[in-house]
Amino acid sequence: MLSDLKRIIDQISRDRGFDKELLIEAIEEAVASAARKKFGSRRDMEVRYNEEYGEVEVFQFRSVVEDAQDEQTEISFQEAKVLDPEVQLGDELGEKMENITELGRIAAQSAKQVIIHRMKDAEREVIYDMFKDRQGDVVSGIVQRFERGNMIVNLGRTDAILPKDHQIPKRSFKQGDRIRAYLYEVRQNSRDSQLILSRTADEFLAKLFQMEVPEIAEGIVRIMGVSREPGFRAKIAVSSSESDVDPVGACVGMKGSRVQNVVQELQGERIDIVTWSPDPAKYVYNALAPAHVSMVMVDEEAKSLLVVVPNDQLSLAIGRQGQNVRLASKLMSWRIDVKSEQRYANLEDEGYQSLLAIPGIDETLADQLLAKEIKSAEDLSKAVVEDLVIIRAIDDDLALQLIEAAGKAVILDASEQVETDLEIVSDPETSIDEPEAAQLADDGLVADKQAPDEEPS
């Protein structure tokens, strides 16, 4: 069986990059396992690979006794004298057993399984050592096959897996296509693929720009942030360490050649390149491009930005299904609230604020009420159901609830105003001239003044 063992070990070690010693250890362990199954597990056996003859030798060791009772662990003194004339009682005698070729079909199959297992372990170590320093790089391979939506990619020496959730949606590859991807993870011990690829990672976009733009590779232009919705749109923020180098222009390239190469690799993903700034107000102005920004209010503590844009720029700033502002928020790691100039003006209006204070009314509904000339809680309290149900979001029941709630709010507000006026009147430091006193008296808030020396009637 093992007459060509030396040649096989040399070939496997050379072709697959295995350490020859690891292969020899695997073979010795496999033969020992097979021998124990064949001759008994209680035997004290030793397996050695004889490189000179290219064969595996099996030795067993037994105690020399006068009369052997257990053939697996003992040998009689008489039998031992035949093997070694100088042997003494109590010695441990070693003898060479049959060659592995005589271990039998089942034992040989067991040996084969151990060898395969050890070879796989060794191969995993080789793959890990080969790729562990390449994690985070862009690698290239050939699409081999598809398994439950996952793509198996051959990288030359081994296969890697591109999971379904790391593939760009609605973009297809077929078997045999060449593909580039980001080496997302290198696993040391894994029954499945050790190499995990990604085409959706933000880092993939950054690496592609690094490969296309020499200024990034040289460190002149730095990538300060990336946010993506893979396959649809992305934003990348860049800065320059040299005043005469335009970071955006460097990434765009002559006639857009550099950015177009990246877009082509990402199969049409739209990419916005923006200038990074340490000033969050200026940064958000750039990040929301192509929309124009009128005003920015910064809350450093909450890392929140209120951005006001012209009325006709609101949809552009927000983007389709909120995509533009969502990507800008992720790029900056700040919360961004975008409002039109009209809505911002409304928020400063007391009547509009009184509408928002009514339970069940948000900004959207308040805007709709405003469009129907209902500009305050007081206006709403005087409305009738027919005035409100023309708004799609309001039915008869909700209309009644809102009118009732507005009425209560108006009464409560009037009551609070009266209390405030009383507090002002009762304050000894508050001076009231004659016309004001007369008006308050008419309202029943103060008594008529009495002469200083006049006794009350």
Q: What percent of the chain has pLDDT over 90?
A: 39
Supply the CATH number for residue 327's domain.
3.30.300.20
pLDDT of residue 114: 67
pLDDT of residue 40: 76
Q: Are residues 267 and 223 in the same domain?
A: yes
Supply the CATH number for residue 16's domain.
3.30.1480.10
Average pLDDT, the chain: 82
For residues 98-120, average pLDDT: 64
pLDDT grade, residue 233 (50/70/90)? Answer: very high
Domain count, the chain: 4
Q: Which domain holds residue 193?
A: 135-198
Q: Is the pLDDT of residue 457 over 50?
A: no
Q: Is the pLDDT of residue 448 over 60?
A: no
pLDDT of residue 3: 47
Higher per-residue pLDDT: 417 or 130: 130
Residues 302-316: pLDDT tens digits?
Answer: 999 999 999 999 999
pLDDT of residue 450: 46
pLDDT of residue 112: 65
Does a structural domain hold residue 327? Answer: yes
Q: Are residues 220 and 329 in the same domain?
A: yes
Lowest mean pLDDT among 5-14, 37-46, 85-94, 151-160: 5-14
The 3-class SS string of the chain reads CCCCHHHHHHHHHHHHCCCHHHHHHHHHHHHHHHHHHHHCCCCEEEEEEECCCCEEEEEEEEEEECCCCCCCCEEEHHHHHHHCCCCCCCCEEEEECCCHHHCCHHHHHHHHHHHHHHHHHHHHHHHHHHHHHHCCCEEEEEEEEEECCEEEEECCCCEEEECHHHCCCCCCCCCCCEEEEEEEEECCCCCCCCEEEECCCHHHHHHHHHHHCHHHHCCCEEEEEEEEECCCEEEEEEEECCCCCCHHHHHHCHHHHHHHHHHHHCCCCEEEEEECCCCHHHHHHHHCCCCCCCEEEEECCCCEEEEEECHHHHHHHHCHHHHHHHHHHHHHCCEEEEEEHHHHHHHCCHHHHHHHCCCCCCHHHHHHHHHCCCCCHHHHHCCCHHHHCCCCCCCHHHHHHHHHHHHHHHHHHHHHHHHHHHHHHHCCCCCCCHHHHHHHHHCCCCCCCCCCCCCCC
pLDDT of residue 2: 43
Q: Are residues 186 and 143 in the same domain?
A: yes
Does a structural domain hold residue 272? Answer: yes
Q: Is the pLDDT of residue 421 over 60?
A: no
Residues 126-143: pLDDT tens digits?
Answer: 888 889 899 999 999 999
pLDDT of residue 371: 76
Higher per-residue pLDDT: 178 or 85: 178
Q: Is the pLDDT of residue 336 over 90?
A: yes
pLDDT grade, residue 68 (50/70/90)? Answer: confident
Residues 141-183: pLDDT tens digits?
Answer: 999 999 988 999 999 878 999 999 999 987 778 899 999 999 9
Does a structural domain hold residue 447? Answer: no
pLDDT grade, residue 424 (50/70/90)? Answer: low
pLDDT of residue 389: 79
Residue where one domain finishes, among candidates 128, 153, 187: 128
Q: Are residues 177 and 255 in the same domain?
A: no
Residues 361-382: pLDDT tens digits?
Answer: 888 888 888 778 888 888 878 8
pLDDT of residue 105: 62
Q: Are residues 17 and 112 in the same domain?
A: yes
User: What pTM does this model have?
Assistant: 0.66
